[in-house]
Amino acid sequence: MTHEELEQKCARQEQQIAELVAKVAWEEEQYRLNKKRRFGSSSEKTDVEQLSIFNEASVK
């Protein structure tokens, strides 16, 4: 390979690395968002009507 061909190959590989780094960052963000959505505090909210079941049981 000539020096110019090696430089072109290196430039292509650097571009591929940059694209892959961006993809990994995007996937990590998606993972973080899905984890937050799945295990975040919003999934822990309880229905007020469900809590009334316990209040009725303790009254009887």
Q: What are the tens digits of pLDDT across the range 4-30? A: 999 999 999 999 999 999 999 999 999
pLDDT of residue 45: 65
Which pLDDT tens digit goes with each residue over 44-60? 566 666 677 776 655 55
C-alpha dist (Å) from residue 54 to 41, 48, 50: 22, 11, 8
Q: Is the pTM of this model over 0.85?
A: no
Residues 1, 3, 5: CA angle, nearest 5 degrees: 60
